[in-house]
Amino acid sequence: MGEEAVEFSVEKVATDCKQNTVDVGDKTYVIGRSDDDSKSSIIIKILDKQTQTWVVPTVLGTQPTLTKSQSAISVFDEKILIIEKGVPLNESIWLLEIETPFVKQQRKIKGTEVVSWSKGVIGVGQKPVVISGPSGVGKGTLIAKLMKDYPSKFGFSVSHTTRSPREKEIDGVHYHFTERSKIDKDISEGKFLEFAHVHGNVYGTSIEAVESVTDEGKRCILDIDVQGARSVRASSLEAIFIFVCPPSFEELEKRLRARGTETEEQIQKRLRNARAELDQSNSPGLFDHLLVNDDLEACYENLKKLLTLDDSQEDSIDFYIKDGKQTASYSIMSKNDSEILLQSETNEAKNGAASLLALDLSSLSGGAPGRTRGLKIRSINSF
């Protein structure tokens, strides 16, 4: 009530207009703020142009706090890029995912139309690392060593599980121990990047578990089973996938028994599942690296070598604008095959900000539910 209406300048529309619409294929997406809602929530409606029917989708992800006016454009018919005016660049970039793998998966689960918000983050980050392997192979041991040696470099994605805590396991540190009804509800609300039924319990990685580590500037390590690795591979989270093998099946059994955390029945179940997991370790395109955990120290050294392989990614960071705070605010000007041009809204000459920036379209193709990281931006000219 009495609030300023949200305005969007839309592809093929020369000036800002109050019709906050973006056409993508056979659909028109209308994005605006509820006028009569004191909480200023964002309303999204979708028009199917062929059937002339409107749908109000289920909206997932953290809603942006869009305040005044925005510019918007479709990207690969998968997402709508929205840039809020009057806000430092790194704070202003939002993506409404409309046809990404995550959204398609959620649509299947819910049986309704789904869209999902994701915040755009400029700058190249290091890819999360998925570590899989049969129960008892030593994943947790290797990860614990990594966390102890490099506490500011790596962070652990704390999974949710319905299994009971073992002695010495701490809720929120080793796992978020949870009730089945609660995890089912959270999964149905799209809060999980992946989940699987493993050894008779439900385990899952929440989007927040990964994002909170990455937000701290750390590289996220996920310890998940092969089903989970497959789901992450199919998601829009770009990660490195490592499978840890035992030197032999007999040694695996020995370690599992020596750990002394499972009953005989549970050990048998885990060993059966181990055979299936080992069979899948060679699935084409699933794992990037296989590590044999025979001698622990040797395996740990090899793991560290693998994790430094892509450190060079960060070398190119100077080419892009890493910190949007130092720049002016921008709006979308136009799009070509490879880039979206952003123009400075106001005269920011005194700040030395570029008047034109180019956002690399290919950097928008990945992303993840939660945040779309690694956006590449170059300056085209400055005042």
Ligand X SMILES: Nc1nc2c(ncn2[C@@H]2O[C@H](COP(=O)(O)O)[C@@H](O)[C@H]2O)c(=O)[nH]1
Ligand Y SMILES: Nc1ncnc2c1ncn2[C@@H]1O[C@H](COP(=O)(O)OP(=O)(O)OP(=O)(O)O)[C@@H](O)[C@H]1O
Q: Which spans of this chain sit near ligand X (rule: CB under 6 A)?
A: 135, 139, 159, 163, 194, 196, 198-199, 203-205, 223-225, 227-228
Q: By CB under 6 A, is residue 257 in contact with ligand Y? A: no
Q: Write down the catalytic residue from 33, 219, 230, 270.
A: 270
Shortest separation between residue 301's beta carbon and ligand Y, angstroms: 12
Active site (annotated) includes residue 257: no
Binder of residue 138, out of ligand Y, ligand X, none (CB less than 5 to 8 A by kind): ligand Y
Q: Which of 9, 92, 135, 206 binds ligand Y (CB under 6 A)?
A: 135
Residue (110 or 163) nearer to ligand Y, CB: 163
Tell which one of 168, 258, 264, 312 touches ligand Y (CB under 6 A): 258
Interface with ligand Y includes 141 (CB under 6 A)? yes
Q: Give the footprint of ligand Y on residues 362-381 (CB under 6 A).
A: none
Q: Of these residues, 166, 180, 272, 275, which one is catalytic? A: 166
Q: Is position 139 an interface residue for ligand Y (rule: CB under 6 A)?
A: yes
132 in contact with ligand Y (CB under 6 A):
no
Q: Which stretch binds ligand Y (CB under 6 A): 21-29, 139-147, 308-316, 374-382?
A: 139-147
Judged by beta carbon distances under 5 to 8 A according to partner kind, the member of ligand X, ligand Y, none in contact with residue 344 is none
Of 65, 58, 71, 62, nearest in space to 10 by CA? 71
Does position 145 interact with ligand Y (CB under 6 A)? The reply is: no
Identify whether 373 is a catalytic site residue.
no
How many residues bind ligand Y (CB under 6 A)? The answer is: 13
Is residue 180 part of the annotated active site? The answer reads no
CB of 146 to ligand Y, least distance (A): 12
What residues act catalytically? 166, 259, 270
State the residues that interact with ligand Y by CB under 6 A.
133, 135-141, 255, 258-259, 293, 296
